[in-house]
Amino acid sequence: MAQHSGRQAPAPYHHGDLRRSLLNAAEAILAEKGVGGFTLRECARRAGVSPAAPSHHFGNVKGLLSVIATDGYNALSAAMVSAADASDGSSNERLRAIGRAYIGQALHFPGRFRVTFGQNTLDDYDADLHQAASNCFQILVDTVTSATHRNAMESTMMVWSLVHGFVSLVLDRHTPFMDGCAPQAEVIDQMAEALMEQCTRALA
């Protein structure tokens, strides 16, 4: 009978999953350490592949982060559309829904969110990234336009500034008024709802 050493043999690596494994590892690092603590070497280590693997698939750090940002825009678009479709269908409620979805995505995936809107770390010539960003922005424009008779671009920037600014304050811990509040997630949800209510009133 064969003797066992007590150590399990490493599971076979499926190369078809390599790209996704690297992206998952990258997002985990970003969530823990932010962009400043991100390296391709650490990404490869966590994915269990050679240090050259990330460069082979993404070229460099900007290439990999640009893919994450593209995924971020696409996920944000999907969340906003899903939230709007689940609303009662009125233009104001659809607007409130996409605002809450924007805030929810940012706070649930802060590492990805910071990369998505951190243009200094991205590839300015990435066509997929630009398309994903454009599609995401158009959802906001279309929803705001249907909810107001005012200048669409001015109104869109007002809504975007509101939700993005709120998210940035929360992520950067500039919300001392919430210290000690329990549960904090519930307070954030209530504030997000109140902000979107005020927003739709302002656009009326």
pLDDT in tens, 87-107: 998 999 999 999 999 999 999
Q: How far apart are CA 135 and CA 137, in angstroms?
A: 6
**93, burial (CB in 10 Å: exposed 0-12, middle 13-18, buried 19+):** middle
- Concatenate the DSSP letters of all residues of 82-115 into one string: HHHHTS-S-HHHHHHHHHHHHHHHHHHSHHHHHH
Q: What is the pLDDT of residue 12?
A: 39
Q: Are residues 54 and 76 in the same domain?
A: no
Q: Is the pLDDT of residue 48 over 60?
A: yes
| Residue 2 covered by a domain | no
Q: What is the pLDDT of residue 3?
A: 44
CATH (domain of 139): 1.10.357.10
Q: Are residues 170 and 93 in the same domain?
A: yes
CATH (domain of 29): 1.10.10.60
Q: Are residues 53 and 78 in the same domain?
A: no
Q: Is the pLDDT of residue 39 over 70?
A: yes
What pLDDT, in 10s, does the model give residues 64-90?
999 999 999 999 999 999 999 999 989
pTM: predicted TM-score of the whole model, two decimal places: 0.85
Q: Kindly report the average pLDDT of the chain as a whole number.
A: 87
| Residue 4 covered by a domain | no
Give the pair of three-digit tokens for residue 89.
Answer: 């269908």
Q: How far apart are CA 185 and CA 172, in angstroms?
A: 15
Q: What is the pLDDT of residue 182?
A: 63
What pLDDT, in 10s, does the model give residues 131-179?
999 999 999 999 999 988 677 888 999 999 999 999 999 988 887 777 7
Distance of CA 159 to the CA centre of its chain: 18
88: which residues sit within 8 A by CB, 6+ positions away?
A: none
Domain with 143 in it: 66-203
Q: Are residues 104 and 120 in the same domain?
A: yes
Contact (CB, 8 A) for 140 and 156: yes
Q: Are residues 152 and 96 in the same domain?
A: yes
